[in-house]
């Protein structure tokens, strides 16, 4: 039976470190500030934004919300980002995605100043990741790296298989883990990959980020592998009051019989993502005030 890597526990540890760091920054006259933009009234996005603002409050980070109506134009949104880019009291800018239909996410990602891009999605930051010189790493990949590091999992020379190649999750994880320092031999799989189970069953570290409930089954996992489940999927469950429950991309119970270490869903990668947004915001404040990046 495998051991759990608890994102809940690790994120609490990171948040505690960041809370101390924010206190010290405030003593130096620096108050980290995150601008959070929410366009429209998608209920899931509203929950994510609320959780991010609440964690800011808990850590002593100032958060400034910008809630815009569904009919906001591209021009209005870009104008707001322009103003936030030029506002010295704002260190980080987060635009919650998805945007309402008609707004261009990739233009918004490019519009956010790379120095304030705490989501790590701007092409400059993505490029720096590809060059092995990251400044802001997108929050979910950053969370996955922290889980490996803080669980003392050696990645050097290991066969790592990443399921999924999105710009948000799979691709940056694969790039980072193959870079110097992490030194994994990484295989990236996607929807056109042939003989997927043969590839995944050779992975010392298997990272699933595809968005298909319980896709990774017992036979796809190598005995003793480390399994990181990024997926968050809502499935029907009549036994629950809500009628649904969350599962990952890995069939957890059977995977647990084969893996040495595994992340649960919920309580795994999810909580790490918000903690790493906080870390990026603190680092943005440090860098903008001439202080070196924290080595988290």
Ligand X SMILES: NC(=O)c1ccc[n+]([C@@H]2O[C@H](COP(=O)([O-])OP(=O)(O)OC[C@H]3O[C@@H](n4cnc5c(N)ncnc54)[C@H](OP(=O)(O)O)[C@@H]3O)[C@@H](O)[C@H]2O)c1
Binds ligand X by CB under 6 A, chosen from 159, 233, 260, 288: 233
| Minimal distance, residue 189 CB to ligand X, in Å | 5
Q: Could you say whether residue 191 binds ligand X (CB under 6 A)?
A: yes
Binders in 204-223 for ligand X, by CB under 6 A? 209-212
In the complex, what is the shortest distance from the CB of residue 144 to ligand X, in angstroms, rounded to a whole number?
9
Residue closer to ligand X, measured from CB, 82 or 235: 235
Query: By CB under 6 A, which span of 19-27, 59-67, 108-116, 187-195 interacts with ligand X?
Result: 187-195
Closest CA to 110 of 74, 145, 146: 74
3-state helix, strand, coil in the chain (%, to 5): 40, 15, 40
Q: Are 93 and 117 in contact (CB under 8 A)?
A: yes
Taking the C-alpha atoms of residue 173 and residue 144, their distance in angstroms, rounded to an integer, is 8
Give the residue with the Cβ less far from ligand X, 212 or 291.
212
Locate 111 and state its tokens. 């519009």
Q: Does 189 bind ligand X (CB under 6 A)?
A: yes
Residue among 116, 117, 119, 256 flagged as catalytic: 119
Question: Is 199 among the residues that bind ligand X (CB under 6 A)?
Answer: no
Confirm whether 52 is a catalytic residue. Answer: yes
Shortest approach of ligand X to residue 125 CB, angstroms?
Answer: 17
User: Do 282 and 21 meet the contact criterion of CB atoms below 8 Å apart?
Assistant: yes
Nearer to ligand X, 60 or 211 (CB): 211
Nearest residue (beta carbon) to ligand X: 166
* Nearer to ligand X among residue 120 and residue 231 (C-beta): 231
Tokens of 233: 């999927």
Residue 232 binds ligand X (CB under 6 A): yes
The label of the residue with tokens 């704002």 reads 90
Q: Is 96 a catalytic residue?
A: yes
Stretch that binds ligand X, among 70-78, 160-168, 235-243, 256-264 (CB under 6 A): 160-168
Compute how many other C-beta atoms are within 10 angstroms of the C-beta atom of residue 198: 9
- Based on the shown chain and the rule CB under 6 A, indicate whether residue 76 belongs to the binding site for ligand X: no
CB 84 within 8 A of CB 35: yes
Q: Give me the sheet containing 185-189, strands edge to edge.
A: 3-4, 261-262, 226-229, 205-208, 159-163, 185-189
- Among positions 231, 252, 275, 283, the unique one binding ligand X when judged by CB under 6 A: 231
Regarding 287 and contact with ligand X (CB under 6 A), the answer is: no
C-alpha pair distances (Å), 258 with each of 134, 184, 201, 224, 291: 34, 21, 11, 6, 45
Phi, psi of 190 (to 5 degrees): -150, -170
Tokens of 42: 């998608």
The interface region with ligand X, picked from 32-40, 72-80, 238-246, 267-275 by CB under 6 A, is: 267-275
User: Do 139 and 168 meet the contact criterion of CB atoms below 8 Å apart?
Assistant: no
Question: Is-catalytic flag, 24?
Answer: no
22, 245 Cβ separation under 8 angstroms: no
Rule CB under 6 A: which residues touch ligand X? 140, 163-166, 168-170, 189-193, 196, 209-212, 230-233, 249, 269-270, 273
Query: Which positions are catalytic?
Result: 52, 96, 119
């Amino acid at each position: 039976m495998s051991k759990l890597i608890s994102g809940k526990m690790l994120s609490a540890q990171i948040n505690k470190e960041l809370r101390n760091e924010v206190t010290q920054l405030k003593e130096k006259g620096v108050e980290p500030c995150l601008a959070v933009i929410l366009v429209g009234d998608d209920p899931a996005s509203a929950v994510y934004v609320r959780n991010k603002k609440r964690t800011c409050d808990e850590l002593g980070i100032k958060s400034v919300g910008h809630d815009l109506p569904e009919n906001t134009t591209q021009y209005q949104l870009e104008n707001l980002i322009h103003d936030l880019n030029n506002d010295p009291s704002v260190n980080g800018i987060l635009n919650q995605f998805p945007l309402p239909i008609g707004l261009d996410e990739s233009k918004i990602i490019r519009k956010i100043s790379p120095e304030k891009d705490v989501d790590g999605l701007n092409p400059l930051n993505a490029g720096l990741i590809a060059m092995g010189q990251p400044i802001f790493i997108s929050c979910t990949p950053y969370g996955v790296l922290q889980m490996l590091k803080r669980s003392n999992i050696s990645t050097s020379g290991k066969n790592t298989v990443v399921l999924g190649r999105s710009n948000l999750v799979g691709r940056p994880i694969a790039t980072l883990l193959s870079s110097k320092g992490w030194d994994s031999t990484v295989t990236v799989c996607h929807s056109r990959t042939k003989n997927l189970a043969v590839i995944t069953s050779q992975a010392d570290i298997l990272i699933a980020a595809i968005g298909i409930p319980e896709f990774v089954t017992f036979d796809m996992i190598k005995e003793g592998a480390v399994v990181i489940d990024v997926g968050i999927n809502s499935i029907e469950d009549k036994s629950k009051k809500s009628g649904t429950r969350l599962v990952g991309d890995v069939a957890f119970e059977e995977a647990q019989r084969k893996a040495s270490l595994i992340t649960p869903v919920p309580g795994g990668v999810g909580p790490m993502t918000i903690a790493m947004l906080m870390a990026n915001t603190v680092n943005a404040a440090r860098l903008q005030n001439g202080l070196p990046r924290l080595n988290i």
